[in-house]
Amino acid sequence: MLRLDVVAMPLALARVATILAHRRFEVLTMDVATPVDGLRRITIEVDTADEIRLEQLVKFLNRSPDVVKVVRLSDDKSHNRRGAFVKVTFPEGRLPEAVAIARAFSAEIVEADRTRCTVFAAVEPARLDALVKALSGFTIRELVMAAPLRISRPHRRGYAAADRSQTWAQS
């Protein structure tokens, strides 16, 4: 996952997309944020496990005059969430079951009646997949997912980088 800070100009996004296309990267998701202070934040998920190709892509992006900064967001150094709306229908009387499933996954029911409901969740991607699987016992009428949202974790003193399972050190 890459996070780019790009100058908020009309062709900047097109130039970034051209770099990805010329290097033959398949874009899985791309989220483009509203400009803030003249910069637009773009989060891109590309389909590659090749570290060398990914490093080359970062170098090409950094050479673009529109790109101010490129940051790689790895799973262990960032918070990762994905949002989704799921519309489900079910036989009358099964709404409590749908509500229980939503609560179990920290999701909320945003609209409901006797035979249908809309569930919203913003959780880790694996947890969202599990929610959709749990709701598949009903009829899923519509599923709308947002691109993954990532933000880097703050670096804290006393955190043992070698063993991520350790707790924060006492200061």
Tens place of pLDDT for every residue, the chain, 171 residues? 888 999 999 899 999 999 999 989 989 888 888 999 999 999 888 887 788 999 999 999 999 999 999 988 776 777 778 899 999 999 999 999 999 999 999 999 999 999 999 999 999 888 999 999 999 999 999 999 887 777 777 766 655 544 444 444 443
Q: What is the pTM of this model?
A: 0.65
- Residue 82: predicted pLDDT: 84
Cα 108-110-115 angle, rounded to 5 deg: 105
- Residue 164: predicted pLDDT: 45
- Residue 151: predicted pLDDT: 75
- DSSP letter at 146? P
H helices of 12-165, in order, are 12-22, 51-63, 95-104, 125-135
SS3 147: coil
SS3 76: helix
Contact 149, 82 (CB under 8 A): yes
Residue type (1 letter), 135: L
- Residue 157: predicted pLDDT: 63
- Residue 47: predicted pLDDT: 83
- Residue 116: predicted pLDDT: 96
Which tokens hold the place of 128?
Answer: 């969202």
